[in-house]
Amino acid sequence: MNKVKMHCQASFVIITCEHGGNKIPPELSPLFKGKKEILKSHRGWDPGALGTAKKISTSLNVPLIYEEISRLVVEQNRSRQNSSVFSEYMSPLSKEEKLELLENVYDPYHRKIFKTIKDAVSKGKRVLHLSMHSFTPVLNGKVRNADTGLLYDPSRTGEKEVCLYLQEFLLNQVNGIRVRRNYPYLGISDGLTKQMRKMFKGDRYLGIEIEINQKHYLQETGMRNRIEKSLIMAIEALTDR
């Protein structure tokens, strides 16, 4: 804990939040008539994730790119060709209408992130990309036994070392916290960080998804602030800006 390994360090940090809101474009509101509860649930967005992303971004003075349109309209954490990029609520739309959504909502978000990373890499910087999410405490009747999840590609040494460091830091700073790696999802699943890995080499790009249990936002357990403060300190230690 006293020494951060060099291959963990980065000189540029970017924060993103793909599920920061549950807004519905006015022209699509008829498709969600009577669906307020679904939109408020974890299916519609990641409660609390954007607030944490903003806090980290502001504290470290690093760029934040986020989406507030509901994932039920366009899923920003899937590749463009993935069939689940559109939820079942979008099924009444024609192919042309879906393509328009991709061009007007999905593409601009991804282009902005890619450009930000590419500009940093072109200047010789090593990028640490933190994609902020939250997860529902119970899914399909099964309780998720973690407070924070750190998702990464195990084949990328830098990403693995970053997550080992973050895990150890959180365990030392936040009493009683349960931190798991590649839980409740796998870091190699189809998503934004996986797409970026295809474009940038492991010595230039570190893509980590940070998942926080939604109970710490919805129930105000008191652990939220400690997790956020600890993440800020840990990320600061990982940067050599």
Is the per-residue pLDDT at 22 higher than 50?
Answer: yes
**Given this model, what pLDDT does residue 2 score?**
44
Give percent above pLDDT 90 in the chain: 92
Is the per-residue pLDDT at 7 higher than 80?
Answer: no
This prediction has a pTM of 0.95
Q: What architecture is the 6-238 domain classified under in CATH?
A: 3-Layer(aba) Sandwich (3.40)
* Residue from 27, 19, 26 nearest 68 by CA: 19
- Helices 157-173 and 223-238: angle between axes, nearest 10 degrees: 140
Domain boundaries, the chain: 6-238
Please report the sign of the dihedral spanned by the C-alpha atoms of residue 20, residue 26, residue 30, residue 35.
positive
Query: Do residues 16 and 64 make contact, with C-beta atoms less than 8 angstroms apart?
Result: yes
pLDDT in tens, 131-168: 999 999 999 899 999 999 999 999 999 999 999 999 99
